[in-house]
Amino acid sequence: MPYKRSFAVLIILFCTLKCVAQEIIEKKNKLNDKLTETFYVSMANQQIKSGPYQAFYHRKTLVAEGTYLDGKKIGIWNFYGTRGNLLQRYNFNKDSLEYEARERLPSDFHYLVDKKITDSDRVTKPLKIGGRYFGFLPYLNVFKTPFPIYGDDNELYVATVELLISPMGRLADYKVRLVSPSLDYDQTINLSLNFFKEEEKQFIPATFNYKPVLSRIIIRCRVTDNGGLDFY
């Protein structure tokens, strides 16, 4: 009888410890000066997201929402612009794009394919899961000017981010061109793809007559007062 009682106590203790280990806690993190994300992790492994996820612009405008399970996105995710307008809806369970907002013209996004296009050709542009705002933040956040910015000097520069996307939908090259006509400055800077996570290297490739092709995404950006990049 004492043995059985001791065994029962051990079982209860094990179950209690397991429940504590699986306790879910909320965490917040700054993605940059304007964006904050809220997500959940278990006490056992605080590096793996599990549960609802939200990201906010200036702490009030929702720009991304969805669900993680063991560190992977699942179900329907919605991605918004900085005014709260829906830009994209993606179903991660089905691995399918369910909605992509029409791009307003003129746009700071430009797309090129290495093909001569005629009126009869069917062409689709490359897309990033996450939409034209949240999805492209990693490519802006990683860059800093190779020189310090003083005062309002940032307003003298215009930057263009160029992403080369392979027919397989992989980021193949990343470069930033900085131009300042008034300072007679024009420099192109290549950055290593090692700066990006595996998920950030994945795109929906452009197609030419229904076949995936090599493409480029060029984004016109402004230089911030701390030498970073931001959307106009």
pLDDT band at 44 (very low <50, low <70, confident <90, very high): confident
Show Cβ contacts of residue 73 under 8 Å, excluding neighbours closer than 6 positions. Answer: 66, 67, 92
What's the rounded Cα separation, in Å, for the pair 69 and 93? 11
Length of the chain: 232
Residue 22: predicted pLDDT: 59
Which tens digits make up the pLDDT trace of 119-148? 999 999 999 999 999 999 999 999 999 999
Does residue 46 surpass a pLDDT of 90? no
Please give the share of the chain, as a percent, with pLDDT higher than 70: 91
Cβ-in-10-Å burial (0-12, 13-18, 19+) of 21 comes to: exposed
What's the rounded Cα separation, in Å, for the pair 17 and 56? 35
Which tens digits make up the pLDDT trace of 65-119? 999 999 999 999 999 999 999 999 999 999 999 999 999 889 999 999 989 999 9
Identify whether the C-beta of residue 38 lies closer than 8 Å to the C-beta of residue 54: yes
Query: Phi and psi at residue 136, in whole multiples of 5°?
Result: -100, 0
Enclosing H/E stretch for 140: helix 137-141
Give Cα separations from 181 to 123, 155, 158, 178 (angstroms): 34, 12, 9, 10
Residue 29: predicted pLDDT: 94
SS (H, E, C) 151-196: CCHHHHCEEEEEEEECCCCEEEEEEEEEEEHHHCEEEEEECCHHHC
- What is the rounded average pLDDT of the residues 222-227? 94
pLDDT band at 8 (very low <50, low <70, confident <90, very high): very low
